[in-house]
Amino acid sequence: MDRHAPLKVVVLGGGTAGWMTAASLAKLLPDRASVDLIESEDIGIIGVGEATLPHIRGFVERLGIREAEFMKATHATYKLGIDFRDFGRIGESYIHPFGSFGEELAGVGFHHYWLELQRRGEAAPLGEYSMCVAAALANRFQPPSQDLSLSSTYGYAYQFDATLFGPFMRQFGQSVGVTRHEGLVTNVERDGDTGNVTALLLNDGRRIEGDLFVDCSGFRSLLLGQELDEEWEDWSHWLPCDRAAAMPCTHATEDIRPYTTATAMPAGWRWQIPLQHRMGNGYVFSSAFTDEDAACEAIRSAAEGEPLADPRVLRFRPGRRRRSWSHNVVGVGLASGFLEPLESTSIYLAQMAITYLIELFPEPGGIEPADRDAFNQLVDMEYDRVRDFLILHYHATTRDDSEFWNHVRTMTVPDSLGDKLELWRKTGRIEKYSDGLFFDASWIAVYVGQGLLPQRHDSRTGMVDPERLKAAAERLRREIASEVSRMPGHREYLERETSRL
């Protein structure tokens, strides 16, 4: 590598992961990276992946993209959380919100006070103490304002059309200096001594050289998986879903929900993701418990609007490459691993890999093995956190109405999740960490939402006068309801924002 020239980065793949990576490197490291991207229209992109997490807002903002412009281009809607139906028990539902339930008081988490009120038979449903849940259920939306005085934090994400997000990022990426090559990579050149990749060869004879290669080739994992043979860690014994039947529909109602819906099904679950112009639908299922024809039929009968296409079956394997960065190849997106979309985490995982890559980006002169190791540890941590949280949704159930639910209810879970469950059951506490995904409110939403209450909670809640506690909780609930009643409807807010452009 030349010690003065920018590092020559070649991104293989022009899906969501590829264009997010290329655009970020070109925009945020303009002096340190020159970026080429290769994509093949013959192969195309996966074309699903529509629900996101609040972190995506930071991504859009950091690149200097205007939210309204991005939302208009991708037909996006706002998302306040996920409505889980029939997971703990058929007929029950709860929202996992992008915000807190109440607020910590005197060092004790709000949920402990809620558990105390619950013990006394004086608690309203937990969701009524969350601004996000209340707004979602009322189909209302407005961004969190600075002067919001309530003791319940509030965040949001987007739901966008995956087939429009890629082209939007492509246009942006090219505007900040990414060089795009259309073509099919058929061969990979490697250095005989180091094993590093030196160039990618296209079917028409072109040769694209690079110092660092980012594999965003999707499930093919052309560089990390096929060329470097990086070991695959399979998690299907914990996450048995390995297929999805996706089918877009028209909206069935005038309202557009500001949240994603996940409804448990006999062999998995189905999503509903509202976009401006249509509703994304899909049944994520386990082929060990149902077949593709039955799954397609199930999504046809469950979908509420008019179908806009026939169901399309996608196949996947849950798990990840043991190392996401090997030699001079970094895997981002599906090329590095996949966890089913129950909590809309894939794009987040790609975003985090990009963030870590930027932080640990090689200096001129070569890749520092310590940086590569640090990257791999961070990516592992992110995947492990998501994995445990996903498994919880299946395992914490009382459902015994199908073989699938009997299997996930009784299966052995990873030790890391077993420890978290034990801590919650015995003490009502959530394991503390400051990095990665899913903090207290997320775990509490699922535990309580799926009927898993702890044996005890923080005894300091007993030090608060019971009448004052009851009055304070009631005040919070009323304030939230009143604040939400002043918000515009989700559709109204969307139309107002996007028509301003």
Site of interaction with ligand FAD (CB under 6 A)? 13-18, 38-40, 43-46, 48-52, 162, 184-185, 216-218, 220, 222, 244, 246, 282, 314, 316, 333-335, 341, 344, 346-347, 350
Report yes or no: 309 and 248 within 8 Å, Cβ to Cβ: yes
Active site residue 27: no
CB of 92 to ligand FAD, least distance (A): 23
Burial of 149: CB neighbours in 10 Å, binned 0-12, 13-18, 19+: exposed
Contacts of 288 (CB under 8 A, 6+ apart): 240, 242
CB of 129 to ligand FAD, least distance (A): 27
- Largest Cα–Cα distance in the chain? 78
Nearer to ligand FAD, 102 or 319 (CB): 319
Number of H helices, E strands in the chain: 14, 21
Nearer to ligand FAD, 131 or 334 (CB): 334
Nearer to ligand FAD, 188 or 473 (CB): 188
CB of 183 to ligand FAD, least distance (A): 7
CB of 218 to ligand FAD, least distance (A): 3
Token readout for 50 is 């529509």
Treating both helix axes as pointing N-terminal to C-terminal, what angle do 346-359 and 16-28 enclose, rounded to 10 degrees? 30
The active-site residue, picked from 8, 27, 72, 79, is 79
Instruction: Detail the DSSP E strand segments found in 64-176.
Output: 77-79, 81-85, 93-97, 157-159
Contacts of 201 (CB under 8 A, 6+ apart): 185, 186, 187, 188, 189, 207
Helix or strand or coil: residue 473? helix
How far from chain centre, in Å, is Cα 113? 30
In whole angstroms, give the CA distance from residue 461 to residue 194. Answer: 61
Nearer to ligand FAD, 10 or 216 (CB): 216
The candidate with the shortest Cα–Cα distance to 214, out of 33, 393, 338, is: 33
The candidate with the shortest Cα–Cα distance to 277, out of 57, 68, 55, 77, is: 77
In degrees, to the nearest 5, what angle opens at C-alpha 307 toward C-alphas 302 and 311? 75
Nearer to ligand FAD, 9 or 45 (CB): 45
Nearer to ligand FAD, 123 or 349 (CB): 349
In degrees, to the nearest 5, what angle opens at C-alpha 319 toward C-alphas 314 and 429? 115
CB of 325 to ligand FAD, least distance (A): 16
CB of 295 to ligand FAD, least distance (A): 12
CB of 242 to ligand FAD, least distance (A): 10
Nearer to ligand FAD, 217 or 461 (CB): 217
In whole angstroms, give the CA distance from residue 479 to residue 97. Answer: 18
Catalytic annotation, residues: 79
